[in-house]
Amino acid sequence: MDFRIILQLNGPVNNYLHIGTKMKVSNRPRGRPKQIDDSHVLDAVLGVFWEKGYAGASLSDLADAAGVSRPRLYDAFPDKNAMYLAVVDRVIGDTKAALDFALAGARPLRDELSAFFKMSIDHYLSGAKSRGCLVMCTAPAEAIESPAVRASLKRLITLLDEAFARRFRIAQACNEIDSAISAPMLGRQTTAMVQSLALRARSGADIHEMQEIASVTVQLLTGRFARNI
């Protein structure tokens, strides 16, 4: 899942990437070439990969977004594949930060799941076009042929599965929800819904439809299996 979350709950998670901004270069003494900051390259090219996918993002598109020539782009990364994998790694790291923040176990399960879904939906629908999740919506097309992309996609799915499962275990341990369904299975079901919302956003679903789906999902996960205590 692909995101630096702009939303705030009790405080900011991460500043959202300024997609489309020109890449900055560091000032160097005269007579020496300027060195490119690869973090700014990622900021610039992330939006291109997010919108066009790996295959659809040409080197010219990526260089234009970064505000440099194609040869200068290679000063930061050896090829397009390395750029894409670095972007995916960043998205996975930002997703972990968002999960840790939203699912801290400090509030009722229903509130924390609702907060995470809200963050996800707002992120998926951000920008001029509804792009969904960068990883979930662009990596599957490359995963069959690229072991590295397949491993990254699996890493994100596993990250989501385990984070949700941990939160469900906490809820079951304090009798907030029933244990009839295992925490790992509840985690996988929640991940599946996150994936579905990402694809729906990519297909043009509006925010009201996605909010309703998320709301019913939270009710099923925390209401249907809730104990009457």
In a domain, 145, yes or no: yes
DSSP 88-128: HHHHHHHHHHHHHHHTSSSS-HHHHHHHHHHHHHHHHT-SS
Average of pLDDT values for 28-55? 70
Q: pLDDT band at residue 35, thresholds of 50, 70 and 90?
A: very low
pLDDT in tens, 111-141: 999 999 999 999 999 877 889 999 999 999 9
In a domain, 27, yes or no: no
Average of pLDDT values for 70-81? 86
In a domain, 2, yes or no: no
In a domain, 50, yes or no: yes
DSSP secondary-structure letter at 36?
Answer: B
Average of pLDDT values for 12-16? 37
Q: What pLDDT does 224 receive?
A: 57
Number of domains comprising the chain: 1
For the question of whether the overall pTM of this predicted structure is more than 0.85, the answer is no
Give the domain range for residue 53. 38-224
In a domain, 17, yes or no: no
26 pLDDT above the threshold of 50:
no
Residue 118 belongs to domain with CATH number? 1.10.357.10
In a domain, 10, yes or no: no
Q: pLDDT band at residue 202, thresholds of 50, 70 and 90?
A: very high
In a domain, 22, yes or no: no
Q: What pLDDT does 3 receive?
A: 45
Long-range contacts at 10-17 (CB < 8 A, ≥ 24 apart): 13/97, 13/98, 13/101, 13/102, 13/119, 14/94, 14/97, 14/98, 16/123, 16/126, 17/43, 17/46, 17/47
